[in-house]
């Protein structure tokens, strides 16, 4: 077994450097708040709001599948809770993702304020990956500080700190909606919020309430109550209550930076009093608050960071983030030059999935370098995560089996790179037919294989050697187990019922 020669390495490193800074999955216009390990502490951990955070990698198929549901959830939770995402493929975020105990993608965690400020409770979200389920799970975690009152307790509540403002919602519901709970958080210490049922007739009469829901603001002191006439929507309700008090900021303000982003920062802190706007201001992606306390005490999973935790955490005074130096040695994949190596690794009745790049004679071609570099970087990624990805091999044209494989699988020219997946144990193979050999395209293909997707073709027995045929048949009958998928798969529920559940 030889390893990739220096011949490839030079070209490969060039190509590889383009793939280091992976594009995030969510665009700037997405309702999903894109955060880094640096933002987490300020924006999520120190927030009075409840958040859900997705830890993802852009190349992961399940992450891409989750995207529409996650964006729908973000829309539905706007102003109620934060829906955030961390790209763990970004070198900057890797130590943070490790600290958070992320073992696979996507990982969803619900983060809510703990008893102590800045020490949130972090729990894995294990529910369905559908918008509705996510929305309900997050709403469920929003703390409830709304006082429940009855005819009997109304006077007592009204007399409590009677100079401060109060708001009371008359409702036919026993439960307190996420919207009202969030309003109480927005105005904590400023406006006492209560809820009362419409069966409490004395109270209904006292306030002259005829329909539910009705929200009444009691400005405090001797000022007259004010009936809310607008829609029962979070933002409008905040505005209504804002006439007596400015809502609390949901999280500490971004520290001003000297960099070019300072203009955006100003915008962000100005609007940070209003959560809905603060959430929209995530473009500023502030990096000033170090994620030193990101390793929340309530994260109970073991830390499995490939890099030393905190290696790239930014000092508050440092002007630029510390970039982890690129590795000196480029990743490689093994090259199988001998037919026996290929046979024992991929083409015998026991061999499971192999990704095999059949290389042309001209091993200096761009396609060769590109394919090898992409495969190596994909495998390295998985290795770093500790996921057991099937092996990748490069097969030089000098391997005596290459002409036979090209002919039997009708792959065509021996002047080109042919990328195939084989599973000799199950007797199938798949062909990569993407455009070029970039990391993204190949990753998608590899992902599909991991998920058992894509067209399988019958692997000709001739490639397994005459004496193996009988064995193959037996094995196929005996072995009924499905292909093992490494990534847990939760089928998405239909997402058509993702309407707003914030009604009161």
Write out the residues near ligand NAG by the rule CB under 6 A.
Answer: 48, 162, 188-189, 221-222, 248-249, 251-252
In which element (H, E) is residue 372 found? helix 366-385
The CB-of-4 to ligand NAG minimum distance in angstroms stands at 52
d(CA 471, CA 469): 5
Which pair of structure tokens corresponds to residue 77? 């939770």
The CB-of-148 to ligand NAG minimum distance in angstroms stands at 19
The CB-of-34 to ligand NAG minimum distance in angstroms stands at 20
**Scanning the structure block, which residue is given the tokens 């998920």?**
451
Smaller CB separation from ligand NAG, 252 or 391: 252
DSSP codes joined into one string, 120-171 = -EEEE--S-SSHHHHHHHHHHHS---PEEE-HHHHHHHHHTTTTSEEEEEEE
The CB-of-184 to ligand NAG minimum distance in angstroms stands at 10
Residues 6 or more apart whose CB falls under 8 angstroms from that of 124 comprise 107, 108, 109, 110, 301
H-only helix segments in 232-331: 234-241, 262-271, 275-280
Closest CA to 70 of 26, 28, 36, 113: 26
Smaller CB separation from ligand NAG, 163 or 210: 163
Q: Which residues pair with 423 in a beta bridge?
A: 353, 428
Q: Which residues pair with 53 in a beta bridge?
A: 84, 109
Neighbours of 457 (CB within 10 A): 13
Smaller CB separation from ligand NAG, 103 or 248: 248
The CB-of-501 to ligand NAG minimum distance in angstroms stands at 24
d(CA 504, CA 188): 19
The CB-of-51 to ligand NAG minimum distance in angstroms stands at 13
Q: Is 263 exposed, middle or buried (0-12, 13-18, 19+ CB in 10 A)?
A: exposed
Smaller CB separation from ligand NAG, 162 or 462: 162
Closest CA to 351 of 297, 393, 305: 393
Smaller CB separation from ligand NAG, 137 or 251: 251
Q: Is 29 exposed, middle or buried (0-12, 13-18, 19+ CB in 10 A)?
A: exposed
How distant is the alpha carbon of residue 412 from its chain centre?
40
Smaller CB separation from ligand NAG, 222 or 435: 222
252 three-state secondary structure: coil
Smaller CB separation from ligand NAG, 160 or 471: 160
Smaller CB separation from ligand NAG, 189 or 325: 189
The CB-of-222 to ligand NAG minimum distance in angstroms stands at 5
The CB-of-78 to ligand NAG minimum distance in angstroms stands at 19
3 three-state secondary structure: strand
Bond from prior residue into 61 cis (ω within 30 degrees of 0): no
The CB-of-274 to ligand NAG minimum distance in angstroms stands at 13
Are the C-beta atoms of 38 and 93 separated by less than 8 Å? no
Are the C-beta atoms of 66 and 488 separated by less than 8 Å? no
Polymer length of the chain:
504
Smaller CB separation from ligand NAG, 48 or 365: 48
Smaller CB separation from ligand NAG, 188 or 404: 188
Are the C-beta atoms of 52 and 107 separated by less than 8 Å? no
The CB-of-267 to ligand NAG minimum distance in angstroms stands at 18
């Amino acid at each position: 077994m030889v390893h990739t020669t220096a011949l490839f390495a030079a070209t490969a490193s060039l190509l590889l450097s383009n793939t280091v800074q992976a594009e995030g999955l969510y665009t700037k216009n997405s309702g999903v708040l894109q955060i880094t390990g640096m933002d987490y502490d300020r924006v999520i951990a120190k927030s009075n709001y409840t958040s859900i955070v997705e830890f993802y990698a852009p190349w992961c198929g399940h992450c891409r599948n989750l995207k529409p549901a996650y964006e729908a959830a973000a829309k539905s939770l706007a102003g109620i809770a934060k829906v955030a995402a961390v790209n763990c493929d970004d070198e900057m975020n890797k130590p943070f993702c490790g600290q958070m105990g992320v073992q696979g993608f996507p990982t969803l965690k619900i983060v809510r304020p703990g008893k102590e400020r800045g020490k949130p409770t972090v729990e894995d979200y294990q529910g369905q990956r559908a918008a509705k389920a996510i929305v309900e799970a997050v709403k469920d975690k929003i703390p409830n500080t709304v006082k429940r009152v009855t005819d009997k307790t109304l006077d007592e509540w009204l007399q409590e700190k009677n100079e401060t403002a109060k708001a009371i919602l008359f409702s036919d519901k026993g439960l307190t909606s996420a919207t009202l709970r969030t309003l109480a958080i927005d105005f904590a210490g400023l406006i006492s919020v209560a809820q009362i049922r419409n069966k409490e007739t004395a109270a209904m009469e006292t306030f002259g309430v005829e329909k539910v829901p009705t929200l009444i603001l009691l400005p405090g002191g001797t000022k007259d109550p004010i009936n809310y006439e607008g829609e029962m929507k979070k933002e409008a309700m905040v505005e209504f209550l804002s006439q007596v008090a400015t809502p609390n900021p949901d999280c500490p303000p971004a520290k001003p930076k000297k960099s070019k982003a300072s203009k955006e920062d100003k915008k962000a802190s100005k609007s940070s009093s209003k959560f809905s706007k603060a959430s929209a201001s995530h473009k500023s992606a502030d990096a000033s608050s170090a994620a030193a306390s990101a390793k929340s005490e309530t994260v109970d999973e073991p830390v499995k960071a490939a890099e030393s935790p905190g290696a790239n955490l930014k000092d508050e005074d440092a002007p630029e983030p510390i970039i982890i130096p690129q590795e000196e040695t480029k990743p490689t994949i093994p090259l199988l030059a001998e037919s026996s190596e290929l046979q024992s690794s991929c083409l015998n009745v026991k061999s499971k999935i192999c990704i095999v790049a059949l290389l042309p004679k001209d091993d200096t071609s761009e396609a060769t370098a590109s394919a090898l570099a992409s495969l190596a970087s994909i495998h390295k990624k998985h290795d770093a995560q500790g996921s057991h990805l099937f092996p990748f091999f490069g097969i030089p044209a000098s391997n005596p089996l290459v002409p036979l494989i090209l002919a039997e699988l009708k792959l065509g020219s021996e002047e080109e790179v042919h990328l195939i997946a084989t599973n000799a144990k199950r007797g199938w193979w798949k062909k990569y037919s993407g455009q070029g050999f970039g990391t993204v395209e190949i990753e998608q293909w590899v992902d599909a294989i991991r998920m058992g997707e894509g067209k399988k073709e019958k692997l000709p027995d001739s490639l397994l050697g005459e004496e193996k045929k009988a064995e193959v048949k037996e094995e196929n009958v005996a072995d009924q187990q499905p292909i093992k998928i490494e990534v847990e798969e939760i089928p998405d529920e239909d997402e058509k019922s993702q309407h707003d559940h914030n009604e009161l």
